[in-house]
Amino acid sequence: MKKLFALIVLAGFANVAAAADIVGNPKAAANKVEMCIGCHGIPGYKATFPEVFAVPKIGGQTAKYLENALTAYKKGERKHPSMRGIAASLSDQDIADVAAYYAQQSTTAK
Angle between helices 92-103 and 63-75 in degrees, nearest 10: 140
- Predicted pLDDT of residue 110: 44
Q: Confirm whether 11 is domain-assigned.
A: no
| CATH at residue 85 | 1.10.760.10
- Predicted pLDDT of residue 48: 83
CA distance 11 to 28: 29
Residue 14 predicted with pLDDT over 70: no
Q: Confirm whether 108 is domain-assigned.
A: no
Mean pLDDT within 61-77 = 97
Higher per-residue confidence, 88 vs 8 = 88
Mean pLDDT within 33-54 = 88
pTM above 0.85, yes or no: no
CA distance 4 to 8: 6
Q: Confirm whether 17 is domain-assigned.
A: no
Higher per-residue confidence, 76 vs 107 = 76
CA distance 11 to 5: 10
Domain count of the chain?
1
Residues 98/36, Cβ–Cβ less than 8 Å: yes
CA distance 98 to 27: 9
Provide the domain limits for residue 31: 23-103
Q: Confirm whether 4 is domain-assigned.
A: no
Residue 17 predicted with pLDDT over 70: no
Give the DSSP letter string of 60-72.
TS-HHHHHHHHHH
Binning pLDDT at 50, 70 and 90, where does residue 55 land? very high
Residue 37 predicted with pLDDT over 70: yes
